Amino acid sequence: MITAISHYGVKVKDMERSVSFYCNVLGFEESFKLYNDDGSVRIVYLHIGRHHFIELFPDGQEEYRYIPTAVGMNHLCYEVDDAYATVEQIKANGGTLEKEIETGRSGCLQFWIADPDNNRIELMQLLPDSLQAKALQAIQTKYSQ
């Protein structure tokens, strides 16, 4: 039985640049590295919160280009506790926004950035009356019984 999302893996072109972005701009922390038999880095594990990982894989070659009509991954979304403070933190640490804060159709505050390899990242603050917050409340009630 699936119980949670464990991690998300991203192929990156420049590991140092990507680790810097995720750690210094977004606030992730490096957890550990896995190595190949020859000693080269195979995966860098970063974490955010108590149990959420992102894996960074080195040696990406081709530039990623988002195609809105393509089948496959569309974006990754991270939850934030304060959208406005997070935007200020991102900008203060050298990041830029792809799309400014707005209230989405579900009632959450959301904004968009891209990582150094142009992977689309949504950041979302759940507001109390948002559809996600209401659904999570119902889910928590279901599993607490």
Asked if residue 129 is part of any domain, the answer here is yes
Asked if residue 67 is part of any domain, the answer here is no
Residues 117 and 69: their CA atoms lie apart, in Å, by: 19
Asked if residue 105 is part of any domain, the answer here is yes
pLDDT at 20: 98
User: Within 10 Å of residue 22's Cβ, how many Cβ atoms?
Assistant: 23
pLDDT at 4: 81
pLDDT at 3: 74
pLDDT at 69: 85
The CATH number of residue 17's host domain is: 3.10.180.10
Q: Quick one: 128 and 84 in the same domain?
A: yes
pLDDT at 87: 98
**pLDDT string in tens for the chain (145-residue length):** 887 888 999 999 999 999 999 999 999 999 999 999 999 999 999 999 888 999 999 988 887 788 888 888 889 999 999 999 999 999 999 999 999 999 999 999 999 999 999 999 999 999 999 999 999 999 999 888 7
Q: Quick one: 81 and 142 in the same domain?
A: yes
Domain count, the chain: 2
pLDDT at 7: 92
Asked if residue 116 is part of any domain, the answer here is yes
Asked if residue 132 is part of any domain, the answer here is yes
Residues 42 and 45: their CA atoms lie apart, in Å, by: 10
pLDDT at 131: 96
SS3 content of the chain, % helix, strand, coil (to 5): 25, 30, 45
Q: Quick one: 110 and 56 in the same domain?
A: no
pLDDT at 21: 97
The domain of 18 spans: 1-61
What the block records as the tokens of 135 is 């659904």
User: Residue 41: CB partners within 8 Å, gap ≥ 6?
Assistant: 15, 33, 34, 35, 58
